[in-house]
Homo-oligomer: A and B are copies of this chain.
């Protein structure tokens, strides 16, 4: 698990700050016409004369957002970018540029930081975004990553959280709970490894879930699908903190109630198996698990036929008036109010 894949160990102190930035960004080439000037001056220059500009930013702190004992640095770099791009897609927009700032303590070697940037570069390539700026500094402890993503969309395409209307359908991409299930597996293997470092974990039967945790993807394909099908969602958000929390955000911003159906929630069979193994209610993993980076949106009833049997999305509920609240309707017809308080406290309510 902690296999050393980097025999070369160059201390960061052998490079100055500017040399480090030059070194890390030398292979990044701009590919968007809106990137006029990338890294290397006081600021990047961008051209957003067409349409509107979107900006979103995230700060990731070691020990809070990631654990390097099971998160390879390349995956971390990839995930850090994807998480930000997901916010731009959640506006029904296309990301075009990122800036990456990095604070790093001297326990990291140059090779380790190169791994991190290899992941960042791969995400830039896969999502066709340009790295146009950033800052690199030392840290007294650990690794801190701050990423800002920029994107663009035409004014009429941009989708806020606040546009849901009565009787709209609630649409979710992909499936949920996988990243949370994967985290449970990784935390268990870490504990086993700490007791017996010679133990080699067999993660083969958990591949989907571990992948969802370590290398999530942003739903570029869903935004492209909506464009092809000429669907502009009435409201949208990405599922970073668990479905419950995101439903409540849409509800609050739109001043509408939202009802979702337990038997419509998409869960991968592997996730159900892991939940059984860990004695977790799969619905709880879906509602409060987080980190799946799927898109949750509402669409007009008139768009139903365009999307009803599409394999990439599920229709999981509908929008109601604000007073009827946010509810999970169970298979038995029971209504459970959605809360955003983490699965422990939610479990308490089920008892």
Contacts and interface: CB of A to CB of B under 8 A. Distances in A.
Nearest to A160: B41
A93 interface: yes
Interface size band for A: 35 or more
Nearest to A44: B55
B43 A134 contact: no
Nearest to A48: B48
Contacts of A46: 48, 52-55
A97 B55 contact: yes
A268 interface: no
A44 B56 contact: yes
Interface string A4-48: 000000000000000000000000000000001100111111111
B59 A43 contact: no
A103 interface: yes
A61 interface: yes
Given A57-B146, A59-B135, A150-B55, A91 B141 contact: no
Interface of A: 36-37, 40-59, 61-65, 87-88, 90-91, 93, 97, 99, 101-103, 132-135, 137-142, 144, 146, 148-151, 158, 160-162, 236-238, 253
Given A55-B150, A144-B144, 17 more contacts: A36-B52, A40-B253, A41-B161, A41-B253, A42-B161, A42-B238, A43-B88, A44-B55, A46-B52, A48-B53, A55-B133, A55-B148, A57-B133, A58-B101, A59-B137, A65-B137, A148-B148
29 contacts: A37-B160, A41-B160, A42-B87, A42-B88, A42-B90, A43-B55, A43-B90, A43-B93, A44-B56, A45-B91, A46-B53, A47-B53, A48-B49, A49-B49, A53-B53, A55-B133, A57-B99, A59-B102, A59-B103, A59-B135, A59-B144, A61-B103, A61-B137, A61-B138, A61-B140, A61-B144, A64-B140, A65-B137, A101-B146
